[in-house]
Amino acid sequence: MSIYQRIVRQKQNHQKSLALLLDPDKVAIEDLNKWAKKIKNAQADYLFIGGSLLKKDHTNKLIKKLKKHLDIPIISFPGNAQQISKHADGLLFLSLISGRNPDFLIGNHVVAAPLLKQTNLEVIPTGYMLIENGHTTSVEYISNTKPIPRNKKDIALATALAGEMLGLKMIYLEAGSGAKAHVPLEMIQSLAENLHIPLIVGGGIRTKKHMLQILNAGADIVVVGTAFEENNW
Ligand code: 1GP
């Protein structure tokens, strides 16, 4: 079964999933056993790897080593075309549909496509939507796009529907890594009620209570990065 088939099946069965996000810059190869153990203990369903701006060039090595320890899918969550790793199981082929920067709507994809064609990666076209959280996040600055205002759930819904109608296979609602506030629950609920494709929600999820509220609002997969790295719960 492909990763996407598994995600869809889980959605159909109303099964919720946890994806952990690992930022390769924050992980030392020497500590990898410790990280693998932590990921297992968290009982995650998926591991996402990537970031808006990477300074270390060891993602390939990291994924190769992690694969020896983990039996969950390792999915590349790339900030740009340079972050493709053929060692991952899949890749979120992200279109930043909340923004109007052609580089993140199609430019990076054109650069990446011939490289992806040479790999066995499962490529999952995903509509990536950045939602304002009150502070400028790295993804907002690096992508040079404006997030959707947090009180505009109608714009968020119209954007997500457009993504679905364009054939994207998932929607990723993102407040940004380290966001002060996660995506508003009402916005999540509105998208969940209207979309047929799986809904991923991440950014600023710092407590178990928030995670459960987001899942109850209709997210199929929640993504936790910072709180996991900081060992919060
Ligand atoms: C970022 O949604 C993820 O793309 C995770 O965010 O680091 O705030 O958990 P956090």
For 190-229, the pLDDT digits (tens) are: 999 999 999 999 999 999 999 999 999 999 999 999 999 9
Task: Name the amino acid, one letter, at 181.
Answer: A
Domains in the chain with CATH codes: 3-230 (3.20.20.390)
Low-confidence stretches of the chain (pLDDT beneath 70): 232-233
pLDDT of res. 55: 83
C-alpha 5: how far from chain center: 17
In ligand 1, which atom is closest to the CA atom of 204? Answer: 8
Q: How many CA atoms lie within 13 A of 177 on its CB side?
A: 22
The atom of ligand 1 lying closest to the CA of 182 is 8
93, two tokens: 């082929």
Specify the pLDDT at position 232: 66
- CA of 225 from ligand 1 middle (Å) equals 5
C-alpha of residue 17 to centroid of ligand 1, in Å: 15
Tokens of 225: 């990065």
CB-side neighbour CA atoms (13 Å) of 227: 23
Taking residue 57's Cβ as centre, other Cβ atoms within 10 Å add up to: 9
pLDDT value of residue 56: 84
Length of the chain: 233
Pick from 20, 129, 205 the residue to mutate for probing ligand 1's pocket: most ligand atoms within 8 Å of its CB.
205
Nearest CA to ligand 1 atom 1: 177
- DSSP string covering 59-112, please? HHHHHHHHHHH--SPEEE--SSGGG--TTSSEEEEEEETTS--HIIIIIHHHHH
Ligand 1 atom nearest the C-alpha of 23 is 7
Task: Provide DSSP, 112-168.
Answer: HHHHHHTS--EEEEEEEEEB--SS--HHHHHHT-PPBPTT-HHHHHHHHHHHHHTT-
- Please report the pLDDT score of residue 231 as a whole number: 81
**Residue 139: how many CA atoms within 13 Å on its side-chain side?**
28
Residue 28 vs residues 21, 25, 32: alpha-carbon distances, Å: 15, 8, 7
20, 21, 211: which to mutate for ligand 1, most atoms within 8 A of CB? Answer: 21
Predicted confidence at residue 113, as pLDDT, reads 97
Tokens of 100: 């109007």
pLDDT (0 to 100) of residue 201: 98
Helix (H/G/I), strand (E/B), else coil: 40: helix
Q: How far is CA 14 from CA 9, 11, 40, 152, 220, in A?
A: 9, 5, 23, 27, 8
pTM above 0.85? yes
**Span from the CA of 118 to the centroid of ligand 1 (angstroms):** 29
